[in-house]
Structure 1
Amino acid sequence: MTFVELLLILAFAAVVWFWFDSLKAREAGIDAARRACLREGVQFLDETVVGHGLRLARDERGHVVLRRAYAFEYSVSGDDRHGGSVVLEGREVVLVDVTAHRLARRAVVIDLH
């Protein structure tokens, strides 16, 4: 086996690892979004999340991890759609945001006054 062949095999293995790791992270994002929607009493629409960003970051222990951001949609009444987000560092969920409906409701109340 030549050095070039070894590099190609290692590159292929890295791509396969990244793909499987991304699938597991996405599943963690879906689970976090679903649980957050249940806590808020809103409907998790489409039962999925969409990747919104990927970068290297340091976790709270100082280790370099992949930070992935996902977006999803939820509904309060079934007739509306609001955007939420999930951020993972490695496989750990560090942020779930389902507050857009509160901000939209507050804006309507302020406009009425």
Structure 2
Amino acid sequence: MSELSDLFLLLVLLAIIGLWLKLARGREQATHEARMQCRQHGLQLLDESVGLRGVHLLRQHGQLLLERCYTFEVSIDGNDREPGKLWLIGHTLSGISLPTIQSHLPGLLTEHVPPPATDNVIPLRPRLRKDNTLH
């Protein structure tokens, strides 16, 4: 009976090592994708790393696929830190969320335009001082 339990423990250990290696390769792929997307959009990838945020099953064309979400931080002008996310299915980029320059420069807009409604939070307009400048 001891040999059977040793074999079972060895198989469990091998499965854990295999999963760890697969996740490490996925993280390398996500870092590569984040670096490419930042270069393409004129952003700087901070810390040159990504972190696994979540994993969920996704059904596409009758198949169950594993989608991984990674988070990272980027800089628009070198003086800020903005969040970014990317989603991978296997080695394929399935989605990305990056900050925009417009969201970083609200003081340069002459008229406040609220972002499109994606949730139940209502944005407030900036208050004007008596001398018609934004607070």
Fold match, TM over 0.5? yes
Alpha-carbon RMSD across the aligned residues, in angstroms, is: 2.2
Contact 1:88 1:95 in 2 (8 A): yes
* Residue number in structure 1 paired with 2:47: 46
* Residue number in structure 1 paired with 2:63: 63
- Runs of 5+ unmatched residues, structure 2: 113-125, 127-133
Which one scores higher on RCO, CA 8 angstroms, separation ≥ 6? 1
* Residue number in structure 2 paired with 1:82: 82
* Cα deviations by residue, 1:1-53 (Å, 9 ceiling, x for unpaired): 41x33322221121111101101110111111111111111111111101111
Aligned-residue offset at 1:108: 6.6
Which of the two has greater strand per residue?
1
Q: Which has the larger radius of gyration?
A: 2
* Cα deviations by residue, 1:52-101 (Å, 9 ceiling, x for unpaired): 1123x135344333322111111111111111011112332211221354
Q: TM-score, normalised by structure 1?
A: 0.80
- Runs of 5+ unmatched residues, structure 1: none
What is the identity, as a one-letter code, of the residue corresponding to 1:68? R
What is the identity, as a one-letter code, of the residue corresponding to 1:9? L
Identical residues among aligned pairs (%): 28
Aligned-partner SS, 2:17: helix
In 2: Cα distance, 1:12 partner to 1:26 partner: 21
Aligned length, in residue pairs: 110
